[in-house]
Each structure stands twice: as C-alpha cells, then as structure tokens.
Amino acid sequence: MGIRERLSGNEAAATAMRQINPDVVAAYPITPSTEIPQYFSTFVANGSVDSDFVAVESEHSAMSACIGAEAAGARAMTATSANGLSLMWEMIYIASSLRLPIVLSLVNRAVSGPLNIHNDHSDAMGVRDSGWIMLFSENNQEAYDNTLMAHRIAEHKDVRLPLMICQDGFITSHSIENIELVEDDKVKEFVGEYHPEHYLLNKEEPIAVGPLDVQSYLFEHKAQQAEAMINAKKVILEVAEDFEKMTGRKYGFFEEYKLDDAEVAIVCMNSTAGTTKFVVDNLREKGIKAGLLKLRVFRPFPVDEVAKALSHLKAMAILDKASSLNAAGGALYEDVLSAMYVNNIHVPAVNYVYGIGGRDTKADEIEQVYNDLLEIVKTGNIDNPYRYFGLRREAK
C-alpha cells in the first residue's frame, strides 16, 4: 500500500532521489529547480542518504562532475532549468556520447533572453536531439514516478543513455498536490544497484574515457547511440510494466484520453494536459467527440505508435510550448507530422505555439482550439497551419 503525501513537484523529485540514494549528486541552484538540490542537501545533512553531494560553481561543472562520477562507476543525478541547462550544453552532448546513464530533473523554464524565470519548454527543446531520453510529466505524481523509473531505463545494457525528467516550472514544481509514494524498501528493490560493465576505477580493465574520435570511428559511434535510442523504446515499456505491478499506476509512451472515438484531438505535453482533459470532459457533455493524446516519451519519439493512435481523427492540433523560430512550426508539431507522413496517414493538422514565458493557458483558449478543429472538419480549409493562442495581439 502506498504512502499518501502532499508534496510540490520539486519535493516529489527530491524525495524520489532520496529513495534512490544515488552515489553522487552534483548541482548548482537555478530557479525554478533550486529546491530539488536544496531538499536533497538536507537529506544528506541529516543522514537520510549516504550520497556525496557536490556543491559546484556552475551548471557546466555540475554536469562535468556527474560525468566524472558515472565514468568512474558511480550512479549520478542532478537538476537544473533553462539557462542552467544551456550552460551545461557542451557536457550534455558529452554525457550522451560517452553512454553515461546520468539522470537529470529538468524543471522547464524559458531560456533567456530577455530574462524570464517562468515556464515554457524552450530549454528542453534546445537539447531534444542531444542523445538524451526525455520523459515529460503532467503532474507531481508523474514527476515522482518517472524519476523512480529513470535509472532502470537509462542503465539497461541495451540503452546506456542519460535521461531527463521534465516538469513545468512553478506550475507543478512549486504547486502542492496529493501524491502516493512507494515505500523506501520497495523503491530500493525496484531500482536495484548499479553495476556498470566498464568504468574507470575498475583496475582489472584499464580504459580511456573521452579520447579523440576521428573520421574512422565517430560515425559508427553515433550510429550506436541512435540504435540505443531505438532500444530504449522496448525498455521503457518493460520498466513501466514492472512499475505497474508494484504500484498499479500504468504508463506508456503516451496517454490516450477519450481518444478512441474522438473526431478531433489535441496533442500536448506536461501540465497543459490537465487543462485539456477538463475541456475534453466539458465538450463531451455537449456531445462533441473531443480527445487528447498526452505525450510522455518525447525521446525516443514513438513514431509508429503516435501515428496509429491519431490515424482515425478528422482533424488535430499539436501544441508547442516553445517556438522553433523556423517559420515551419514547433518541434512537437514537426515530429507528429513526420510520424504521420512516414506511416502514410493524412489527418488535417494545425500547430499552436502557446504559453511562452509562463503565459497562462486557459480552458477557454483550449476550447477555442477544439472549435477551430471543428471548423476545419466542417469546411475542409486549414488556411494558416502555424498559429498562436494566448497572444495579446490576436485580441486587438
């Protein structure tokens, strides 16, 4: 039986870290993720964990310390947001290229400039192709659960890739919600101990980490990373199955909310899904067949599965909480459309950029997106597929 608690998203992530008890946590504070290492440092100070907590001078150093720890054979974790992730950028790529299963809690926030400390997904989208597995969390429970599953996925012998767990800054990170915790002993058994195959401190097998990778080798190593990301799909589902047996909570690549018989649907990630579910329920009461696909696993992107889930729709909208500034739609929109194309499925689709810099996402705005989709179904006309909602100039 789980333990009922009331925790913020940050405290939920830190609590999962306490239960995992990693060998090393290296972190530098940045809003809105600061509370995660703050809570964890308290666990270190009061003896709740025996982790080495490394208070570094920057986020670049935080990821560097995690890389050193993992390369030495330790289990390492960290947390950051926005510009902190940007400062890690060089080391983010090195962590994945060295196949080090570091786990990072990313509390999503707008990347400067101009300076903004509130939520959007520009930080996560900036590293979406860096070779990290990326899980997104609608609420505090999912942020906690994703963290418990992270090491099992990342450390699997067929994967060995770093993993980041995303949650929306302030919206979930600082909001207190009811949450069900797993007992400490069950977490310890579920996560297991870390036994790396190759590591620097193994005196029986001297190795080099991070050598020069010239023309004769780099291409093949990148192909191996790509293969590991493909392998991660199977592992993610296997770990989720074991997690469901332990907790009763079921996870897949995405959640299909009233999608089976839907005619119009929204695709989105993180906390926006909660607002969208509320709108879907209201529309269903009016007889409108609305649905939602809430993506949990963004990398690896579940191409075939997403296409199949959306194939029966008459129209759909993909919501991006970050602007790619490419005149061709947001990152999630591009991935969804690519999935549909390669599976030879055509569903009229529009893209909405929304919520930039923490702009409130309101139920009536989501409802208007569904109304727009119904109009597309009625007329067959999309006009401009690249849209906004919540942008003030639209009200003028």
Rounded to an integer, the average pLDDT of 126-147 is 98
CB hemisphere CA count around 362 (13 angstroms): 7
For the residues 328-354, what does the mean pLDDT come to? 98
- Has domain 3-247 been given CATH number 1.20.1530.20? no
Examine the pLDDT at 196 and tell me if it is beyond 90. Answer: yes
Using pLDDT thresholds of 50, 70 and 90, give the confidence band for residue 134.
Answer: very high
The model carries a pTM of 0.97
pLDDT in tens, 58-73: 999 999 999 999 999 9
Alpha-carbon gap, residue 20 to 195, rounded angstroms = 15
Domain boundaries, the chain: 3-247, 254-395
Residue 250 has pLDDT above 60, yes or no: yes
One fold for both 3-247 and 254-395? yes
Contacts of 223 (CB under 8 A, 6+ apart): none
Rounded to a whole number of angstroms, the distance between the first and last alpha carbons of the chain is 54
Q: What is the CA radius of gyration of the chain?
A: 21
The DSSP letter of residue 111 is P
CA-CA distance, 111 to 150, in Å (whole number)? Answer: 25
- Classify residue 393 by its DSSP letter: G
For residue 394, the model assigns a pLDDT of: 52
Residue written as token pair 């780099």: 218
Strands (E), 182-278: 254-257, 264-269
Per residue in 357-391, pLDDT (tens digit) is 999 999 999 999 999 999 999 999 999 999 999 99
User: CATH assignment of 254-395, given 3.30.470.20, 3.40.50.920, 3.40.1410.10, 3.20.20.80?
Assistant: 3.40.50.920
Pairing of strands 349-353, 290-295: unpaired
Q: Give the pair of three-digit tokens for residue 44.
A: 């270190």
